[in-house]
């Protein structure tokens, strides 16, 4: 689970990590009050969306007076950044930046440890730095039994700073962020940039926290911060129906029972030259209701141009699935082509039920995938 910058900064502050003064606003009018309250000559208006690269997308603007703040907030609110609608902006006091650093803790699966990453190339897209200048990022494995005692925190801090005052502040920031990481079951804690100001202080002017979903039950305070995106809401709804559902970028909506079969179906769609719109495993059992729910889910996705249904009847009976499909099309009246492949228990009965209706029936998996792709290619 991701949280917004303003939420991350609240946690940073609670853990003793210095952040700049800031106020959250939901309307351009609130920005005026906030600007006065901040009382600074210059401020920064920042889009609060759950993605990085806001600066590049025009979602971070330096402003010099109330009027400018109002104008920029107006422009940024309702802006879309990487497909996400901006609903809130942060008005931050502008910080006089001398240099920018990157700091993060994350889980490294190879070493099965928390890993600290530090770079003096902060403020930039860290993936870009990792690709072009990997030597500019330092990585330190944290032994879970040792954690980050003073001597290590200072040793790591010395890799970025020479002045002892900076080293001291940095060591405290590293320890605080690590404590936050461990105590709140964080999977990524990132400050980019952590800045050294012209006054010689260190301030976290951006923050990103991603939490381990499987540990959220231990942290009701963190769960309460959740603001699911449209996509996450859909995925949560799918979970409540008993499905495994992951949205993707393609155009062929898939409804399959069994994760392995779902993967194979997606592979074949790719093989024949199209892309799946989703992974959807509707699981076992023959409840026709499931098929209706799944169909509703697929049709609600505007990217889906063709539906491909691939069911292997074991405990699931193909005639039950066919009943569900018939109910679903009667109810939802889909206007897009639907390809169905039913095999296994009661497949004859299932196919007989579907005959003469609006379905394209396929016998084999290959035929079904090929048919779905060719129907997609024929679309205007
Ligand atoms: P991101 O683009 O989503 O990572 O948003 P950030 O909050 O990291 O802001 C992007 C960049 O804007 C930072 O790396 C800084 O260079 C700049 N920036 C943000 N806040 C300030 C500020 O208070 N003063 C100055 N001078 N620059 C800022
Ligand atoms: Mn940033």
Domain ranges of the chain: 21-93, 97-223, 230-378
For ion ligand 2, residues whose CB falls within 5 Å: 192, 206
CA–CA separation, 31 and 97 (whole Å): 23
Residues 6+ apart with CB under 8 A from 66: 31, 32, 35, 36
Q: Which regions of the chain are under pLDDT 70?
A: none
Q: Which atom of ligand 1 is nearest to the CA of 93?
A: 23
pLDDT for res 341: 97
User: Is the Cβ–Cβ distance between 338 and 286 less than 8 Å?
Assistant: no
* Pair type for strands 306-313 and 252-256: parallel
Q: What is the CB < 6 Å shell around ligand 1?
A: 44, 46, 52-55, 60, 92, 94-95, 97, 100, 123, 192-193, 205-206
In CATH, 21-93 is 3.40.50.10800:
no
Helices (H), the chain: 5-14, 28-38, 66-76, 126-132, 150-158, 164-183, 220-223, 230-240, 259-271, 288-299, 318-332, 347-354, 365-378
Q: How far is CA 320 from CA 138, 349, 357, in A?
A: 57, 9, 16
Determine the Cα–Cα distance for residues 352 and 179; give it in Å rounded to an integer: 62
Q: What is the CATH number assigned to the segment(s) 230-378?
A: 3.40.50.261
Predicted local confidence at residue 40, as pLDDT: 81
Q: Give the CA distances from residue 108 to residues 177, 191, 192, 198, 278, in Å, rounded to whole numbers and listed in that order.
A: 17, 18, 19, 34, 28
Classify domain 97-223 at the CATH topology level: D-amino Acid Aminotransferase; Chain A, domain 1 (3.30.470)
Residue 257: DSSP 8-state = S
What pLDDT shows up at residue 83?
Answer: 83
**Structure-token match 């296994």, residue found:** 344
pLDDT value, residue 207 = 97
Q: Which two tokens stand for residue 78?
A: 């309702």
Just list the catalytic residues. 102, 190
Distance 55 CA to ligand 2 centre (A): 8
Cβ(331)–Cβ(291) below 8 Å: no
Strand partners, 139: 117
Which of 21, 45, 51, 55 has most ligand 1 atoms within 8 Å of CB, for mutation? 55
**Ligand 1 nearest atom to the CA of residue 95, by list position:** 23
Ligand 1 centroid–CA 55 distance in Å is 7
Cα–Cα distance between 243 and 235 in angstroms, integer?
Answer: 9
Instruction: Region of 271 please: left (phi>0), alpha (psi -120 to 50) or beta.
Output: alpha
Name the DSSP class of 216.
G
- pTM comes to 0.78
- Predicted pLDDT of residue 232: 83
Q: How far apart are CA 82 and CA 134, in angstroms?
A: 26
The pLDDT, as a whole number, for residue 124 is 82
Distance CA 244, CA 236 (A): 10
Phi (first) and psi of residue 194, to 5 degrees: -95, 125
Q: With the C-alpha atoms ordered 376, 369, 281, 278, is the resulting torsion angle positive or negative?
A: negative
Cis, bond preceding 193 (omega within 30 deg of 0) = yes
């Amino acid at each position: 689970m991701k949280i917004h910058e303003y939420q991350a900064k609240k946690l940073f502050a609670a853990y003793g990590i210095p952040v700049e003064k800031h106020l959250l606003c939901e309307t351009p009018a609130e920005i005026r009050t906030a600007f006065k309250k901040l009382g600074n000559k210059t401020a920064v208006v920042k889009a609060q969306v759950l993605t990085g690269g806001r600066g590049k997308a025009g979602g971070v603007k330096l402003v010099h007076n109330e009027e400018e703040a109002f104008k920029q907030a107006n422009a940024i609110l309702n802006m879309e950044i990487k497909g996400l609608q901006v609903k809130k902006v942060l008005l931050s006091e502008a910080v006089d930046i001398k240099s920018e650093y990157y700091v993060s803790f994350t889980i490294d699966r190879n070493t099965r440890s928390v890993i600290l990453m530090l770079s003096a190339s902060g403020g930039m897209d860290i993936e870009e730095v990792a690709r072009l200048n990997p030597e500019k990022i330092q990585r330190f494995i944290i032994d879970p039994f040792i954690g980050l005692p003073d001597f290590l925190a200072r040793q790591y801090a010395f890799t970025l700073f020479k002045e002892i005052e900076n080293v001291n502040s940095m060591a405290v920031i590293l320890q605080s962020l690590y404590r936050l990481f461990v105590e709140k079951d964080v999977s990524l804690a990132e400050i980019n940039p952590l800045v050294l100001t012209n006054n010689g202080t260190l301030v976290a002017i951006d923050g990103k926290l991603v939490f381990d979903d499987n540990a959220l039950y231990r942290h009701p305070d963190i769960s309460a911060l959740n603001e699911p995106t449209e996509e996450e809401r859909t995925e949560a709804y799918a979970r409540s129906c008993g499905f495994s559902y992951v949205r993707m970028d393609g155009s062929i909506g898939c409804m399959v029972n069994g994760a392995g079969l779902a993967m194979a179906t997606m592979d074949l769609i790719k093989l024949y030259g199209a892309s799946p719109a989703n992974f959807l495993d509707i699981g076992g059992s023959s409840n026709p209701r499931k098929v209706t729910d799944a169909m509703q889910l697929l049709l609600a996705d505007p990217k889906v141009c063709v539906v491909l249904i691939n069911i292997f009847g074991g405990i699931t009976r193909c005639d039950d699935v066919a009943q569900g499909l018939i109910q679903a099309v009667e109810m939802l009246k889909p206007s897009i082509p639907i390809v169905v492949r039913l095999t296994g228990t009661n497949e004859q009965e299932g196919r007989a039920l579907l005959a003469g209706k609006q379905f394209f029936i396929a016998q084999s998996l290959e035929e079904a995938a090929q048919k779905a792709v060719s129907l997609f290619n024929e679309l205007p």
